[in-house]
Structure 1
């Protein structure tokens, strides 16, 4: 009897003709299609967020110094791709080098008898490659002009030799002078050929090169991704594990200190990607992950678990693609490159690059951007705490 009851129960629950429980929503084809469309839209947005900056990026308005007169500077601009360079005239090579080290410019053109192009692969390998291409074009043009000069010199020499082959009879005695005939015209004709052989060589000097452990800059370019993911993971875990809103603020502070130290140990001590002062790198990395974690906890404290999605979208799907970690901000369309520097991924990526290779560059803005997002997250946590307590008091009364 018991066996028969169990079988009947199992059949009632799993049989093909089973009816849905009373009050349960009926399966709907419309809901299934809407879910599929929504999922496809999310995937498309994610694809666009990460691929659009790369596909649409192009070099434009790159700040580059130039040493030379205005005519030479205009010639450089004319020979470069349209709109690529934003040349800033400086007085000396030393001044150009200083601007590169302060990240005011990406490189410099030294125009004169000994042409030279200064680059900085630490600032941007992509821009350094562009400047190397311009150096090759300049050298080809100089070689072409030198070849043209050599051909003109050869023609002058041939004309002089042809004139000399007519012999002394074709010259008047007066032209020979009392001391005999003048020097051999063939010797005079060799001068253009000798000068034409002295072809200037365009040299390329890397003022701020990358470290040997990251010679291509790939490690530094992706260093911002662990900071972004680390901040999101830290924010999600602390918001789920720690239920007290005030203790979430404490957890975020502790996570920033521990996470910053751990990431810097890996990126600098182990992999050798980061350079410079270890303590400052720990502070920058810790502030980056703490800012994202605080922001996620702040939204969760205000609106609940749905706040995780807001924080993740703001940092990963908006901030990270326009952070200019792999290419200069000038490569992005419109003002997106500048906007990206005011979000956590862009500010932290630029700050770590400057701390590693450009200690003389201004970094105040990046520090304040990270501090600002961190303070905003902590403020949202405290606001959520106060609102929750006010609701409890209202419910009690």
Structure 2
């Protein structure tokens, strides 16, 4: 190739890299800023009980896009719904006052908004509001700092295995080893993260093994997804997986606020991504006796299946690439030098 063509080619590559990085930073800004700017109660499910007149007055006065009211027969039914994660909180409206049922561990940001809603309702009725936190954070971590901080180690626990294992076990021949290593890492790191949350920081107090299994599944979903994308599409796949977890999954997880504090569309996407599903599963196992754990566990299992399938398809493609071609077999039978087919290791 003539020398004068090298500079334009290098210039085009540099321009593509610069534009790609600029697009990445812009996407990061949108992903982190927009949900925060539009945060607030968005169709938060709230259980209510009381007279039909008072319940209807509450529906008429409360912003329709902020609360989603569900009627129950008794205060006990509302409390049960809160503890089962069917609703984020509840209001029991009586002639003597308003009982506000919250679950800070399930919806930290919605708790303060619901408390304010109950107090305003009680003021309108000329009564008092009584707040009962049915599912609080632990005494040692009353603000849930440990729970919120757990998300980043879980995300990096999905990114690091794909990155590091690829260095030690490169190419197609190391693909299955990388997949096995990612799963083993998820088990070891997941049990360790759960142990720190339960026994070191005392941020959670549920069943340890249920919490650990949830963290393991979350890490496995992230690591196998990134590994599968990397195996199928190379570094572009790794970048896509990392962006999916970090740039979208992290800000849309709702772990710090509860998913109902994000705009509806953002919240729905966040709960379908591994970080959001991992956070919801961790919260359900750690504070609600695994109530509401089925859906996030199903989402994470689907991501594990997707990542594993991509890796296995890449493995099958790689095995075909290193098999001798028919003409090579023919050369062997006639004594001619075989045509060697290179391992496509550099693709993975």
The bucket for the TM-score relative to the shorter chain is 0.7 to 0.9
Q: TM-score, normalized by length of structure 1?
A: 0.75
**For residues 242 and 221 of structure 2, what CA distance do their matches in structure 1 show?**
12
Question: Partner of 1:140 in structure 2?
Answer: 123
Deviation, structure 1 residue 130: 0.5
- 1:196 corresponds to: none
> Which residues of structure 2 form unaligned runs of 5+?
330-348
49, 56, 60: which is aligned to 1:74?
Answer: 56
Is 1:340 aligned with 2:322? no
How far, CA to CA, are the matches of 2:138 and 2:276 in structure 1? 22
Alignment partner for residue 42 of structure 1, among 5, 8, 24?
24
Matching of residues 272-287 of structure 1 within 5 Å: 272-287=202-217
Q: Compute the TM-score of the two structures, normalised by the length of structure 2.
A: 0.85
The answer to whether the 8 Å contact 1:114/1:202 transfers is no
Deviations 1:297-334 (A, max 9, x none): 21222232332112112222222222221233333334
> What is the number of equivalent residue pairs in this alignment?
321
Aligned Cα root-mean-square deviation (Å) = 2.3
Matched, 1:389 2:315: no
Q: What secondary structure does 1:384 align onto?
A: helix
Is 2:106 aligned against 1:123? yes
Tell me the distance in 2 between the aligned counterparts of 1:358 and 1:331: 19
User: Does residue 242 of structure 1 match 2:169?
Assistant: yes
Q: Distance in 1 between matches of 2:254 and 2:238?
A: 24
CA distance in structure 1 between the partners assigned to 2:221 and 2:286 by the alignment: 21
Q: 1:230 aligns with which of 157, 163, 168?
A: 157
Residue of structure 2 equivalent to 1:369: 299
Larger Rg: 1
**For 2:295 and 2:286, how far apart are their aligned partners in 1?**
17
Q: 1:270 to 1:216 in 2, by over 3 A?
A: same
C-alpha distance in 2 between matches for 1:254 and 1:98: 38
Matched residues in 1 for 2:106 and 2:179: separation? Answer: 36
Cα deviation for residue 31 of structure 1 reads 6.5
The CA distance in 2 between the partners of 1:223 and 1:217, in whole Å, is 10
Counterpart residue number, 2:91: 109
Unpaired runs of at least 5, structure 1: 1-20, 144-199
Shift of 1:103: 0.5
Show the counterpart of 1:176.
Answer: none
Please say if 1:51 is aligned against 2:30: no
Take 1:334 and 1:127, find their aligned partners in 2: how far apart are those partners?
14
Distance 2:231 2:44 in 1: 43
- Counterpart contact for 1:63–1:86, Cα < 8 Å: yes
Query: Match for residue 232 of structure 2?
Result: 302
Alpha-carbon distance change, 276 to 341 in structure 1, aligned in 2, over 3 angstroms: same
Please give the alpha-carbon distance, in whole angstroms, between the structure 2 residues aligned to 1:286 and 1:360: 15
Mapping for residues 211-222 of structure 1, pairs under 5 Å = 211-222=138-149
